[in-house]
Structure 1
Amino acid sequence: MALLNSTLTNYLEKLAGKSPAPGGGSASALAAAMGASLIEMSASYSLKRSGKEMKKAVTAIKKIRKQLEKQIDADGIAYANYRKKRTVAALKKAADVPVRVCELSAEAIAIGVFVAKKGNANLKSDTVAGLCYLFAALTGAALPAMENLKGLKEKSCAREAGKRLMALRKKSAALIDSVR
């Protein structure tokens, strides 16, 4: 698909098109990558004031952002593979990508809260905007993940994953509320 390297206009046209991919999972990954980017920017501007902890935050959020960028394309590829093969393994992979977006978003939210509290106060609104994108991504990616997991015969696996995703969402919401 190579969505990551296309123009934003091209990506949005594909997203709006009559094709199942890219869809909500890919869009959630993009939103998460944008949120992580805003937090990375805020943290980078805060390096002189906050020292080693902020440097660790910059390194960690950059790594997460790069992983999220990969998920933008990975989601559509995994879903297309499932539609082609219709196997349990392909369905699990189609669920794994949005689950990973949820996990990475939750990690980025924890870093973003630190940046909002300890970083440059002039950039707090950018940091909080990033947190909002990440929370939207976590919520948005959980939906296709749960939909894909419903198709598994192992219902207990789907239930456990659902509980884990909802716990991530609840914890992330509480963290974000602590900086507003």
Structure 2
Amino acid sequence: MLIEKTVSGFIEELASNSPAPGGGSAAALAGSLGAALSIMVCNFTEGKPKFSGVQDEISQIKQKGLALKNDLTDYIDADTNAFDEVMKAYKLPKDTDAEKTLRSEKIQEATIGASLPPLKVAESCVEVLKLSLRVLTIGNPNTACDAAVSGVTAYAGFQGAIFNVKINLSSIKDETFLQNVRDKILVLQDEADKTNQLILDRAREVIG
């Protein structure tokens, strides 16, 4: 599993000539790093008398952050596994008409499946962005930089995930599925862009 590799091992795997892991797994990793940084801010805020007024909310943010971190970590491998299924489908025999039909069906099925992990990553990254903004606003100001990096890292993960969704959509023929995903992308993109801008504005106020 990719997640069991060392940091340097994962980076080397990304840099290799293997098609997977690739951008989708990297996007999931970016999102999980963003979540981890928001949790870090919570840990430096939790239990501090100076921030007694926000303890309940910080505790809730921390729990949400932990769940998101775990989900995004799982998607690192899920994205690569889904891509592998697409590759398997393309390798199916195509000598007869029946084989060609089955191969085409399996490719469509696998490609739809491959679009789902990055879509989930994008959704999770939007949630991380919300947590980043909040901890940047109410968290320990000594960790403001970490909160800001949480946000920009999650936004990078979001953008990367969306690219990976879109590249799969170009090969999918199911129009209902395509429209549903495209509609969802528009909503997510708007929410991510607005939250990211608020994070950047707040970071400039707090950090300079």
| TM-score bin (small chain) | over 0.9
Matches of 1:167 and 1:90, distance apart in 2: 25
Q: Which amino acid aligns with 1:102?
A: A
Aligned position for 1:28: 27
Q: Distance in 2 between matches of 1:89 and 1:156?
A: 14
Paired residue for 2:72? 68
State the SS of the aligned residue for 1:21: coil
Residue identity in the other structure for 2:62: V
| Structure 1 position 144 matched with structure 2 position 164 | yes
State the alpha-carbon separation in 1 of the partners of residues 146 and 186 from structure 2: 26
TM-score, normalization by structure 1: 0.94
Q: Give the Å deviation of 1:151.
A: 1.3
How far has the Cα of 1:166 moved from its partner?
Answer: 3.4
Aligned mate of 2:60, from 51, 56, 60: 56
Identity of matched residues, %: 26
Partner of 1:41: 40
Letter in 2 for 1:150: S
Between 61-70 and 107-116, the greater mean CA deviation after superposition: 107-116
Equivalent residue for 1:108? 128
User: 2:147 & 2:16 partners in 1: Cα distance?
Assistant: 32
Residue type at the aligned position of 2:82: A
Q: Which residue identity lines up with residue 38 of structure 1 in the other structure?
A: L
* 1: CA distance, partners of 2:189 / 2:46: 29
Provide the aligned length of Structure 1 versus Structure 2. 179
Q: Secondary structure, in 3 states, of the residue corresponding to 1:4?
A: helix
Structure 1: distance between partners of 2:129 and 2:36: 12
Q: How high is the TM-score relative to the length of structure 2?
A: 0.82
Contact 1:146–1:158 (Cα < 8 Å) also in 2 = no
Residue matched to 1:169 = 189
Runs of 4+, deviation exceeding 4 Å:
none
| Match in the other structure for 2:82 | 78
SS of corresponding position for 1:19: coil
Displacement after TM superposition at 1:176 (Å): 2.6
Distance 1:172 1:95 in 2: 19
Q: Structure 1: any 5+ residue segments left out of the alignment?
A: none
Q: What amino acid is aligned across from residue 140 of structure 1 in structure 2?
A: G
72-81 or 147-156: bigger deviation = 147-156
Distance 1:143 1:156 in 2: 20
Aligned residue for 1:126? Answer: 146
Cα deviation, 1:4-31, whole Å, max 9, x if unaligned, reads 0101111111111111100100000111
SS in 2 for 1:151: coil
Residue in 1 that maps onto 2:137 = 117
Tell me, in whole angstroms, the C-alpha distance in 2 between the residues paired with 1:6 and 1:34: 15
Paired letter, 1:28 = A
SS of the equivalent of 1:47 reads coil
Question: Rg bigger for which structure?
Answer: 2
Aligned match of 2:4: 5
